[in-house]
Each structure stands twice: as C-alpha cells, then as structure tokens.
Chain A
Amino acid sequence: MTQYLALTYTADVDWWAPEQAAELAEYRQFAIDHADKIQASAVLHPTTTATVVRVEGARGGQVVTTDGPYAETKEALTGYYLIEADDLEAAVAIAAELPAARNGAVELRPVILARAAEAQ
C-alpha cells in the first residue's frame, strides 16, 4: 500500500457559489465512492483568500505575510485527497474519476510515511 496525495488543479472557483453546486456534489460523490481509500480530503477556498507566510532570517525572525497564493497560475490548487492505493496504477484509476481530471488536472504525489522516514 502506498499513500498518494491527489492535488486537484482547476479554475480558481468559489465552491460555495451556486453555480459550483453540481460539481461540488460530484466531488462529494467521489469521496463517498472511495471512502475506504480516502484518508483525508478537502476542497479549498479560492486563492484570493490565500496568505503566504515567510520568516525572515533565522528561526524566530520577522514573520512576513503576503496576500494571495504562492504562485499565480492559470489553474489553481482547489482541493486535495489523501488516497491509499495498491500501486500507482490503482491510484491513477481512482484519480481519473475526479472531475478535476476532466476540467483541469490531478497531480499524484507519493507520500513519505512518517514511520519509514523515522527509520531512515
């Protein structure tokens, strides 16, 4: 079993807007369909609500925040799913069912498990 973070990149939508309701329902249905494989998931507020945090200099330095996302891109990070799958092929099959795979893109990133990281 490998854990994958499936990051959805789509138009920078406001999920609470009424015109998003139908698509949001699709994401909910996806989460229900794969409940046994999904460890955690969320949809995100639009990037206009984002804040980037940096600390200047060493630890304990001045906290500097900027308004907006880390990177301005055409397609924004709009949600994530932490998926557990047998292998990459199985993860691809699940990710392909996300609406974002049709109208944007899904990035699959294998997760380093804390236990394995400690053993290093």
Chain B
Amino acid sequence: MYDAVAETVRIEGARILATLIRTVGDVQLAEDAVQEATLAALGAWPVTGVPPEPRAWLTVTARRKAIDIIRRERARAEKERQGSELLELSRPSTVTGDPAGIEAGQAADDDLLRLIFTCCHPTLSPPTRVALALRTLCGLSPAAIADVMLTTEAATAKRLTRARHKIAAANIPYRVPPEAELADRLPAVCAVIHGLYTSGHAPPDGEPAYNLDLCTEAIRLAELLHGLLPQQPMPTAVLALLLLTEARRPARLDADGEVVTLERQDRSLWDAAAIDRGIALLNDSLERSGRQADPYQLQAAIAAEHARAAVYSITDWREIVRLYELLLSVAPTPSAQLAHAVAVAETEGPEAGLALLAEQRGSRTHAVRAELLARLERYPEAIDELSRAEPATAAERRHQERRIEEFSRRSSSRGRC
C-alpha cells in the first residue's frame, strides 16, 4: 500500500511541481510545497485510501502548502510580488475553469516542458542538469540521486541548492524555447535522458541502496519528451534508441546473473514489441529530419541492425560498419571508436580491428583487444590485455576471470600440440 502511494506521488509529482513553479515563480518554494503535500499524502492515504483523483488532491494540497509557506516567509524579500501571487494562488484556476484548480491537458503539458527545459538549461553544468532532472522530473530524494550519481547525499543536496539559487538569482527563464531555438536546446535535454539510461545500464558495483531502475526512469522521461514534442526528430530517436537497447536487456544476464555477450544471447528473450516500436519510431524520426543523421538516430539504427538479425551469424556487419563511420563523423566518442573497431573486426578480420585500436586507451579497450587477440590465438597477449581491464560491475569481473581462465587453458593446450 505504502509503495503504491509513494509511487503515485512520485510520478504525479513532476507535473504538479511544473505547474506550481509557473504559478509561484520559484523552484525552491514550489518544491517545498510539493514536498509538504507529498508528506501529507503519505500520512493520509494509507488511512483514507488513495483518492479517486490523486493528482487533483496533491495539486490542491500543494497550492495550500505554498500559500502557507509564503505566509510564513512574508517578511522576506519581494513580499509585494509574492503577496499578489498569494491572491492568484488562492483563486481557482481561471485558465481551465477547473474548480479544483488543476491544470489539465495542454496547460499541464506546457508546464512540464518548461520544467524539462529549465532543468536541462545549457547554463547549468551537465551533472547539475542530471541531478535536477532526477529531483524534479523523477521525484527522487537527494539520497537516491547521490546513490545513482556516485556521490554523497550532502554533496547532492548542496548541488541542488546551488542550482536552485542560480536559477533564481541569474534569472534562468522558465519557458519552452521558441521553435527556432529548439534544435539548439534539445541536445542538452536528450543528453540528460540518454545519460540516465546509460548509467542505469551499467550500474556500479554492489547492491544498490535504493530499489530504483534508472533505465525505466530514463525511458519514462524519453516517452514523456517524445509525447510532448512528437514532431521533433531528436526525442523520437532517443526513445527509439532506448527501446531498442532495453529490448535486449532480458538476454544480457543469464539466470545466475552472469554476463551473456551478444553472440551468445538467447534472441527469443528479446522484447519483439519493443523492437518493432523502436524501429517504427526510428523510421519516423529519420523521415522528419534533414539529410544529416544525429547521433541518436545512428545509434538507434545500429541497435536496429542487431535487433533485425534473427541469429548472430546473419548480422549485417557491413551496414553496421557504415553506420559507425557516420556516427564517428558526427560524434567521435571513445565508445563509438571501440564499437567501430569491433564491427571492422567482423568484416575484415581481427587484425584490422586491432589496428584501429592501436592508439586507444581505457578499460574496455583492453577487454576488446583481448577478445580480438584470442581470435588470432595470441593467448598470452590476450591474457595480458584482459588483466589490465578494470570491470565496473561484479558480473563483469566474473566474466573477465572466466575468460582469462579460458584463454590460459587454450594457450596451454596449444603449447602441448
């Protein structure tokens, strides 16, 4: 019961917060009010049951709490401005004529978009954008955010406080960018969502303190952004990419929690519906955009190529190499270079892949180089490379140990021949 209540509150929270920020014009005040309304709900609902319109209940309560807070802090600066807001707040919403004062439909959507663009404003640092998104859009506590961002609760709380202060003091606008600026502003928003998914996909070592699935949160945000801006190719491509990646998740670990590499995955475990939707979204995104494909479209296209192959052996590696080359021309990241080398090794042989990795550094590079060396039966070198890799998770560490054992076994059996 408690969890269901907490989940409703958390999911509805972002929309309520978004509307309240616009009405009170202050992120901190709105957040405090939503927080107090949340506590009220968590206290009342387990006793009274969840009301038929939870969002309405929370909205009304949050507004009342905001009025209380403003009253309490009346003596503070800008009391005249807030005094007039107090009047606005106590009046039922005139926009929708809704007596409960709930912003519905378009108005609520606009508020949510404003909140998304403010949280992901380019004048805030990338980690601050992520922290703000998790706080205001996903409703996570500073402790949970610290857990996923690999930092402390105190540091997260300080980061959030500074961010809210900057938004207020530097007057970062609370609005959706005009159509002409959307193309410039969407990459920051999409990077936050994609970054959330990626960090959820490779969770840090150990048991997480919070039972929280970042991948699910990221997909929820991607769905939200695509739903709000269905005409925009970039959010569509992000959603396609996340769905196509998520579709393979059930096959990534076996029953014992061990890593299963792509060529050994049981493809019947892949989520066919998610793959179909991902491919449809990708096509839609490509149709809506100009000639130059963006990095999300290209990564989604690569994921789609893998998803289309019913068995590993029929993977179209030439097309994948081509897509990686396009990706490297628009976004030359180390992970794309690595994946490109893997694809080249499939089409032109392990030597060609190794040649591309000659200059590359990093833990995952060692692991990839080790696999390519092993294919050339250069086992001692492969073992040397693999022992230099630093796996991020316990499952990856076990995988590394297993491979090292295998390489040494093959190496010694070859020696005996």
Contact = CB atoms under 8 A, between A and B. Distances in A.
Interface of A: 2, 4, 86-89, 92, 108, 110, 112, 116, 119-120
Given A119-B78, A120-B76, A110 B169 contact: yes
A119 B77 contact: yes
Contacts of A89: 172-173
A88 B78 contact: no
Interface in B155-184: 169-173
A55 B171 CA distance: 35
B81 to A, nearest CB: 10
B79 interface: yes
Interface residues of B, number: 10
Contacts, number: 29
A2 B76 contact: no
Interface string B41-85: 000000000000000000000000000000000001111000000
A105 to B, nearest CB: 14
Interface of B: 76-79, 123, 169-173
Chain B CB within 10 Å, residue with most, of A92, A108, A110: A110
Chain A interface main SS type: mixed
A87 B172 contact: yes
Contact of B171 (A110, A112, A116, A120): A110
Q: Which 7 A-B pairs have the closest CB atoms?
A: A2-B171, A87-B173, A110-B170, A87-B171, A119-B77, A110-B169, A88-B170
- Name the residue in A86, A87, A89 with the highest tally of chain B Cβ atoms < 10 Å from its Cβ: A89
A92 B78 CA distance: 25
A68 to B, nearest CB: 31
A88 B123 contact: yes
A45 B123 CA distance: 30
A65 B79 CA distance: 43
B21 to A, nearest CB: 15
Nearest to B168: A110
B170 A116 contact: no
B79 A108 contact: no
Contacts of A110: 169-171
Contacts of B123: 88, 92
Nearest to A111: B169
